[in-house]
Amino acid sequence: MQRSPLLSRPGMGFALESGVASRLDPNPGVFMLAAALTALIVPLQLAASRSAPGVPAVPRPMAEFDGLGHVVAPLGDVDGDDVPDFQVGSSLNVVSGRALKSVARLGLFAFGGSDWVGPAGDVNGDGFGDVLYQSLVLDGRLLVAGTEERFPIRQLVLHGLDSPAGVAFGGQGRQVGDLNGDGVPEIVGGWADAWISRCPGDSILVILGGSPGFASVYDGRDGSVLATVSGETTADAFGGLVQPLDDLDGDGVLDFAVGTRIIPYSEGLFCHLPEGNYVRTFSGATGQPLWTLEGAPRSMAALQDMDGDGTPDVVLGYAYESRIELVSGVDGRRIASFDDRFLPNDLHLLGNQVYPWQDLDGDGREDLLVSIPQPVRFSIGVPGGPQSAGPGIVAVLSSQNGKPLARLRGSEDGQEFGAQLAVLGDIDGDGVPEIGVGSSGVEGGLVQIFSGADLH
């Protein structure tokens, strides 16, 4: 099996060459905006493939999209039919949740995978969900209408989100709820000023800017900056992780977290580098810090009250330690910690992504949906050379004790099933949200959509 010395796609003979990174503008913000101003919405009548050669799935997925990349992210209801839509691929492909086929495509590379992709809410009040894509908020109605009428990207942009002066590299951007009471959700954009250009192998390349990194709160209605917070020291990569949370301080306004994380330019890279040092929660009403945790989680999510103190709590995924932690929303105190002892060996990345899930074990508490991609690249440098820990797993774990309650597996070692995981909303109307799973070890990438009922 041939492997690239730089960025190989294990098992499927696909190599992502360093030229991809070299084609990126050294300032991704400039690159994204410049590309956006020249790109066009082009129609994409790409029906969802029902089978991917060599990658059978049990249970059978609702839909598969192969050859577009492995990124998948929820977008909300973009086409106004009351069914959640989503995006697949390395550029923006809007997929109708009702029809399970692409209805629009934006030819703009998604720097960092899904790090700046998601729903923006109905910004302009036209009844169609708008889309956060990179540092732009796009008109959802015109985006979908581009299947019949082509629009220059400049006509689709409701507003752009400006980075702090001098910051060259982005982190994560997320809708965080309505913080200023105007009925439109705000966006927190992280600007880490650091990124991983190449890994693994003998040519790991990490690019650092000259700042600690920042996160800005943007008015969802017009993109103006409401507040900006910064990291502590140069090269902290503050803003590489952004996560909306529930109301932790009891003031009636949703809160959010910002962490330090040096993100890869593609979420299909697993570098086993210390990606960050701390994560900090902030009041959505005042922007003041609430509490700080040391360590470098790769993912985190809001949870219901798990310890009975009346305050919502938080779950964090420390993927490079294959560990999940539940912490108090009041002060960050540890409630519980789970490792990957239920897996057969130690090359897994448990907690690559983590979400709350429905209560499967009947204990009255939300359980945890986690991705465990078992990447081959993670094991480079171990005795005996690159190894595969397995095909990749998406599992529901008990929030009580970490016991696996349900799981989906990839079909081939090296598939990296779970390199991307997204909760897409209830597409089929059965009351259970569907999930999207991306596999980065498949040539060209693969995204599979599963019924949430498959994890019950």
**Residue-level pLDDT at 31:** 35
**Tens digits of per-residue pLDDT, 282-305?**
999 999 999 999 988 989 999 999
> How many residues can be counted in the chain?
456
**Residue-level pLDDT at 271:** 65
Compute the CA torsion angle 84, 90, 92, 94 (nearest 10 deg): -30
Structure tokens at 385: 């050379």
Q: How distant is the alpha carbon of residue 5 from its chain centre?
A: 27
**Residue-level pLDDT at 38:** 33
**Tens digits of per-residue pLDDT, 295-340?**
889 899 999 999 999 999 999 999 888 899 999 999 999 999 998 8
The SS3 assignment for 19 reads helix
Helix extents (H) in 140-260: 140-145, 153-156
Regions of the chain short of the pLDDT cut 70: 1-58, 108-114, 147-151, 168, 198-204, 264-275, 344-347, 377-389
Rg over CA atoms, the chain: 20
**Residue-level pLDDT at 146:** 74
Q: Who's near 37: CB < 8 A, 6+ residues apart? A: 153, 154
What's the predicted TM-score (pTM) here? 0.83
Structure tokens at 276: 């960050």
Q: Are 267 and 198 in contact (CB under 8 A)?
A: no
Structure tokens at 370: 């986690």
**Residue-level pLDDT at 456:** 81
**Residue-level pLDDT at 235:** 87
Structure tokens at 317: 């995924």
